[in-house]
Amino acid sequence: YEIYLNGMTGAVPRLPTDLTRLEELTERRLGPGPVGYVAGSAGDGSTARANRAALGRRRIVPRMLRDVHERDLSVEVLGRALPAPLALAPVGVLSIMHPDAECAAARAAAAQGVPFTLSSASSTPMEQVAEAMGDAERWFQLYWPKDPEVGRSFLTRAKAAGFTALVVTLDTPMLAWRPRDLDQAYLPFLHGVGTANYFSDPAFQAGLAKPVLEDPNAAVMHFVGMFSDPAKTWPDLAFLRENWDGPIVLKGILHPDDARAAADAGMDGVVVSNHGGRQVAGSVGAADALPRVVEAVGDRLTVLFDSGIRTGDDIFKALALGAKAVLVGRPYAYGLGLDGQAGVEHVIRCLLAELDLTLALSGHAGPTTIGPADLVEESA
Ligand code: FNR
């Protein structure tokens, strides 16, 4: 009601409450280069469309007369109580959206009580982001560097900076064919954006012939060579277990056999995700992959979900399909681009308010009572 009450004095929200409108507004404000990088996806965009279609095809079947006057959005994720089943996804290079970049997004998450996942490819060193968050819940996303010393150093720094969970992204051993970026010949990393965690890292610096400031181009090329490692296989996960004593979540899992392999390797969770459609063009819509992963490992691992979440009812559907919580990516990046920290808070508040209403109007006092029986699937 806050929005309607403010409206009585003539005030309307600064940003639209339909978050699907944010992309277009951000492009008008910031121009096509940065927005192309954020909005863009792999190939002809079919996977990003499949993400929306997979959620859209599933329809909620509301229940009536079930006492929903008091509601509680809280859930337990990775052994910790969260006030709501939502976290901010790791999104790199946020300085292309706003000068306050990751710190503004992290402050917004902290203010709204949702975990912030900091990308390895952050525009800001992880210690600064941690400081901006106080003791609020934060997770660290790892692009697994080729150089094990840099990997170990990242994990040591993240632990010291108070990141609780490690989210290891497996779907990006290299960047995909992304026509919007290719056509503009625009890749933020080559401009030194998204390299701050690396350039500030002692183990990374030790691998350079000259200090970053003396030869920034060589530092960028060193980053490109070690950013990720396509040669990794499942047994390599032991390295992570040895160097991280908190929960480890594998991001980018779509196949149930990979989810089983994650459980067998002693991981704590998976994020069912296709990177927002940015990696494999023609891949399965993430929500279509979710039920099989939940069936395979739902009793052994914490299953999280992202790729295509734009509304509160999208969150409802992902939870009904068995996810414990969802991550949201592009919408908060646009919120940041349009209005800094306040824009990110707007996105979080809209999603949670709409989720709360969707739950209530569908007959649920909280996320824990939702299940597959609350959805029907329209034929494709
Ligand atoms: C991402 N994503 C991502 N994932 C990751 O693990 N590390 C990263 O650094 C990034 N960087 C990144 C940049 C940009 C601009 C986007 C849009 C996405 C993927 C992200 O975590 C998440 O999987 C998707 O964004 C989810 O899909 P939606 O919510 O954007 O549809």
Can you give the chain as a three-state secondary structure string? CHHHHHHCCCCCCCCCCCHHHHHHHHHHHHCHHHHHHHHCCCCCCHHHHHHHHHHHHEEECCCCCCCCCCCCCCEEECCEEECCCEEECCCCCHHHCCCCHHHHHHHHHHHHCCCEEECCCCCCCHHHHHHHHCCCCEEEEECCCCCHHHHHHHHHHHHHCCCCEEEEECCCCCCCCCHHHHHHCCCHHHHCCCCHHHHCCHHHHHCCCCCCCCCHHHHHHHHHHHCCCCCCCHHHHHHHHHHCCCCEEEEEECCHHHHHHHHHCCCCEEEECCHHHCCCCCCCCHHHHHHHHHHHHCCCCEEEECCCCCCHHHHHHHHHCCCCEEEECHHHHHHHHHHHHHHHHHHHHHHHHHHHHHHHHCCCCCHHHCCHHHEEECCC
Q: What local confidence, expressed as pLDDT, does residue 197 receive?
A: 97
Number of structural domains in the chain:
1
In a domain, 221, yes or no: yes
| Candidate from 55, 278, 332 with most ligand 1 atoms within 8 A of CB, to mutate | 278
The CA 38 to ligand 1 mean position distance, Å, reads 8
Q: What local confidence, expressed as pLDDT, does residue 287 receive?
A: 98
Minimum-distance ligand 1 atom for the alpha carbon of 51: 31
Q: What is the pLDDT of residues 104-118, one digit of tens each?
A: 999 999 999 999 999
In a domain, 378, yes or no: no
> pLDDT at residue 380 above 80?
no
> pLDDT at residue 191 above 90?
no
In a domain, 291, yes or no: yes
> pLDDT at residue 32 above 90?
no
In a domain, 315, yes or no: yes
> pLDDT at residue 190 above 90?
no
Q: What is the pLDDT of residues 84-135, one digit of tens each?
A: 999 999 999 999 999 999 999 999 999 999 999 999 999 999 999 999 999 9
In a domain, 70, yes or no: no
In a domain, 226, yes or no: yes
The CA 2 to ligand 1 mean position distance, Å, reads 31
| 275 assigned to active site | yes
User: Residue 31's domain spans which residues?
Assistant: 2-58+80-368
In a domain, 373, yes or no: no
Q: What local confidence, expressed as pLDDT, does residue 257 receive?
A: 98
Q: What local confidence, expressed as pLDDT, does residue 178 receive?
A: 93
CATH, residue 307: 3.20.20.70
In a domain, 342, yes or no: yes
> pLDDT at residue 277 above 90?
yes
Q: Whose CA is nearest to atom 13 of ligand 1?
A: 91
Q: What is the pLDDT of residues 207-227, one digit of tens each?
A: 999 999 999 999 999 999 999
Q: What is the pLDDT of residues 228-273, one digit of tens each?
A: 999 999 999 999 999 999 999 999 999 999 999 999 999 999 999 9
Query: Higher pLDDT residue, 106 or 8?
Result: 106
Give percent of the chain with pLDDT exceeding 70. Answer: 100
Minimum-distance ligand 1 atom for the alpha carbon of 167: 6
Query: Higher pLDDT residue, 185 or 52?
Result: 52
Mean pLDDT taken over the chain: 97
